[in-house]
């Protein structure tokens, strides 16, 4: 699992190994591991598996990378 920006801050790490058969299982175990701050942030995040947008029912294996990307704001006006 890779965590970016505020998800990384909430979890206290940018990468971790979390097993699960689906994205939903991986995220549920991540919530247990990282606590309420991470859980509160998660609904606002996009999840990718191996660089592609993924749903909660996406099947994952031991060599897949689940990435949690919080919304990004900024830029110029």
Is residue 59 within 8 Å of 21, Cβ to Cβ? yes
Average pLDDT score over the chain: 94
Report residue 72's pLDDT band, with 50, 70 and 90 as the boundaries: confident
Does residue 74 sit within a domain? no
- Structural domain range at position 53: 2-69
Number of domains in the chain: 1
What span, in angstroms and rounded, lies between the C-alpha atoms of 53 and 66?
Answer: 10
| pLDDT exceeds cutoff 80 at 75 | no
The CATH code of the domain that includes 56 is 3.10.20.30
Does residue 75 sit within a domain? no
Place of tokens 């206290």: 12
CB atoms inside a 10 Å sphere around CB 45:
19
What pTM did the predictor assign? 0.90
What span, in angstroms and rounded, lies between the C-alpha atoms of 15 and 67?
Answer: 9
Does residue 13 sit within a domain? yes
Place of tokens 């990384």: 8
Does residue 76 sit within a domain? no
At 32-67, the pLDDT tens digits run 999 999 999 999 999 999 999 999 999 999 999 999
| Cα Rg of the chain, angstroms | 12
């Amino acid at each position: 699992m890779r965590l970016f920006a505020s998800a990384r801050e909430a979890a206290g790490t940018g990468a971790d190994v979390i097993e699960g058969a689906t994205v939903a299982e991986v995220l549920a175990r991540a919530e247990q591991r990282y606590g309420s701050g991470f859980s509160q942030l998660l609904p606002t995040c996009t999840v990718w598996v191996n660089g592609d947008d993924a749903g909660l029912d996406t099947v994952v294996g031991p060599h897949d990378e689940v990435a949690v990307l919080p919304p990004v704001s900024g830029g110029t006006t």
